[in-house]
Structure 1
Amino acid sequence: TKLFSESSISRILELVENAVSKKAETEKFITTFAKYYTPVVVFGALMIAVIPPLFITGQTYSDWIYRALVVLVISCPCALVISIPLGYFGGIGGASRKGILVKGSNYLDALTKVKTVVFDKTGTLTKGNFVVTQIVTANGYNEKDILRYAAYAESNSNHPIAKSIIDAYDTKIQQGEISGVKEISGKGIKARVNKDEITVGNDKLLHAENIQHDKCEVEGTVIHVAINSIYAGYIIISDTLKDSAQETITLLKKKDIGSVMLTGDNKNAAEIFAEKLGIDKYYYELLPEDKVKHIEEILQSTPKGNKVAFVGDGINDSPVLARADIGIAMGALGSDAAVETADVVLMTDSPLQVITAIDIAKKTRKIVWQNIGFAMGVKLFFILLGIFGIATMWEAVFGDMGVAIIAILNAMRVMK
C-alpha cells in the first residue's frame, strides 16, 4: 500500500499538470518574438503619428494619430501569443483523451520528426502470455522431471517465462526443498533442489557452465534444463503477437518510418517474429545494457533533425527509454519507472497508440503553423490598410480580436 502522493495515478496527474512547462521550439520562438515585436510596433506607431505631419504638407496630426492607433490595435500579438500555446495544450489534452499522456509540447514536436521507432518485443509487440508448448527430453530424463526441476528453480522468479513454467507444472512447490538460488542476468538461474544442482536457462548459460548438449539453435523461445551438470532437455515456450502489432508496423511503413525490434530471444525466435511483422531490422540475445548500446548506435546513424523513438513496457526498459530521443512506455499504469522515465506514456497495451500519438502530434503542428500564417497574414494586410488610412478602428478590432478568436477556435480542433 502506498500513499496517494506516491502512487502512479498521482504521478500521472502531476506529469499532465507539468506538461505545459516543457515548451516546444515554436512556443519559445513566439514568446521571444512577442518580446521584441511589441516594442517595435509601439515605436513604429509613434513614428506613424509624428513623422508624416512634419514632412508632408497638408497632413494633420489628428488623422495620423488615428492611423497610428489603428495600426497599434491591429498589431497586438494576442492571436499568436494565445492561440499557439493553446494549440499545443489542445494537442496534449486531445492525446490524454485517447489514453496518451505527453509530458510536454516539446515531445509533441519531436514526435513529428520521428523516422525510426524501436520496439522492445516482449509485452510490447507480443502479449507476454508465455505458454509451454513442447518438452524435449535427453539423457534418459522424462518430461515430468524436466518440468518439475525447472518449476522449482524458477519458483521465486517474477519473469513471465518463469510463470509459464510454474503454470504448466500446476503442482504445489515445496519451498523447503529449494536452496542456493542464484540468478544469472541474461542467461538463466541456478538452484539446488534437495541434493540436485539444477541449471535452467538459455544456450549461453550451458556454454558458460560447460554443460554438453547436442542442440544450440532451437526454433522459438527455449529454456534448457541440466541436472547435476548433465543435460536433461529443453522446454519450448511460445508467445503470441498482439492483434494490432502487424497493423502498427504496416502503418509506420506507409508513413516512411523505419521499425527496429530489440529482444533477448535467440536468433530463430527473433527472426520468426520479425518476418511475421515485417520489421525492417532486429537484434537478438540482448541484455538490458546491450539494448542501450544498440539504441545509441541507431541514434548515431540517424540523420540530423530526425528523431528515434523507443517503445517498451516500462519494466526493464528504463535506461533505453531515457536514452532515446522520445521514450514511449506502454501499458505502464502500475510501473513507477515508466511514468518517471518515459516522455510519453500509453495507458493501454496497444502498439497502435504509437501511430495515434504521431498523428496527433502532426495535426497539432499543422494547426499551430496554420494559426501563425493566418494571424501574420491578416495582421500585415490590415496594417498596410491602416497606414494608408483605409482601415478604420472597427477593422482594427477585427484584425486583433477577430483573428485571435478564429485562431483559438482553430486551435481547439486538435482536441477532437
Structure 2
Amino acid sequence: MDDTREPVPGARADVDADLFDYRSLLTDDERALLDRLRTWLRADLAPVADRQWAAAEFPHDLIAGFGALEVVGLPYDLPGTPTEGRLLSGFVSLEISRIDSSFASFYGVHSGLAMGSIYYCGSDEQRARWLPAMRRLEKVGAFGLTEPHGGSDVAGGLETTARRDGDDWVLDGAKRWIGNGTFADLIVIWARDVDDDSVKGFVVEKEMPGFSATKMEGKLALRAVQNADIVLDGVRVPEANRLAGANSFKDTNGVLRHTRGGVAWSSVGAMMAVYEVAVQYAADREQFGRPIGGFQLVQDLLARMLGNITASLGLAVRVAQLQDDGIFRDEQGALAKSFATSRLRETVAWARELLGGNGILLEYGVARYFNDAEALYSFEGTREINSLIVGRSITGLGAFT
C-alpha cells in the first residue's frame, strides 16, 4: 500500500501555532539557525521517531549529525564558540520537541542538566576539560540526582554517599530514572559527604570500576529515552572530578532553576505538534458529508488548544528573557514549568479526542505525545512541588513538610 501521508507533524504550511509571533523576537541569524535545525529534524529525526519510540530504542546514529548543527550549550560562555541567549536555546528545545519529545529530553539532560552542572558548579579547569567536547557531542552527559527512594524529597533524603579517601572520593549508592544513563560518557552524580553531611557533585566517567547502568524497561512515556538504574559500588573518583562549586543542595538547585524553563519550552513544542496535526485532521477528515473542522465543537477544541500554546509560550519566553537579564527567580521557573506541563496534558487529550480512535495510533502523530506528556508533567519537579515553590514565594512560608 502506497502511504503518501506526510510523516512529519504540522505538515500544513498554513498552520501557525505561534499566533502572537514570538519567533519574531529572534534575530535573523537566530531564525536562520532554527530553520537549519528544523530542516535536519524533519529529514533525519522525524522519519524514525515513531519507530524508535515503539522499540524503546535511541537513535544513536543521529548524535553526530545533531552535534554538527552547533545548537548544544548555546547559553554557555566557552572559549572559541559563540554565546547565545536563553531565548534561542528555548526555541531549539521547542523545535526538537515538535518532532520528538524523547530527543528533546536527551538534549535537555545533556545540554541543560549535565553541561549546566559543570558550567555553573565546575572550576575553570573543569569547564575547559569537559564542556568543549560535550558541546560538540563528542562526549554525552547525564545527571544523577533522583534515587530509588528519593524523588521530591531528595534534597533532605539523599542516600548516595561520598567518602574522602586520600586523593579520591569513594561513592556508594544508587540512582534511578537517569536519562542518557545507559550510554553517557560523563555522569554528574550528587552525593552526601559522610563527614560534613553536605551535598556535593562529582563527574563520574562511565569506565570507572564499580559504576554500572541498567536500562529501565516497561516505560510508557518518552520510550526512546534510555533511563537507567545506576549502581555506584565503591566508585573511586579523583578529587579533580569533584565539582569545585557544588557544596550544598543549594548549588544543585541552582542548576535545576536554570533548566526548569526548558521543560516549559519542550511542553510548548509538544503542544504545537499535536495542534498542527489536529488542524490538518480537522480539514481532511469528513463526517456527515463535510470536514469536521466545520463543526462548532471541533473549532472550540482547536481554539482552546491554541490558547494553551499561546499562554505557555508567553511564560517560556519571559522566563528566557529574565534569565538573560540575570533577574530570574525560582518561582518564575516553577510556575512556567507546572503551568505549561498541566496545559500540555489538556492539549494532548483534546487532540486525541478530536482524532477519535485514530488518536491512539502512532501513525497519526498524537498518541506518542499523549503518552510523553505524562513524563514531562512529572520530571524536573512535580506540579505539586513546583506549586509549593510558588506558594512559598507568595506567602513567605514553606509548606513542603
TM-score of the pair, normalised by structure 2: 0.26
Of structures 1 and 2, the one with the larger relative CO (CA 8 A, separation 6+) is: 1
Q: Which has the larger radius of gyration?
A: 1
Given the two structures, how large is their TM-score scaled by the length of structure 1?
Answer: 0.25
Higher strand share: 1
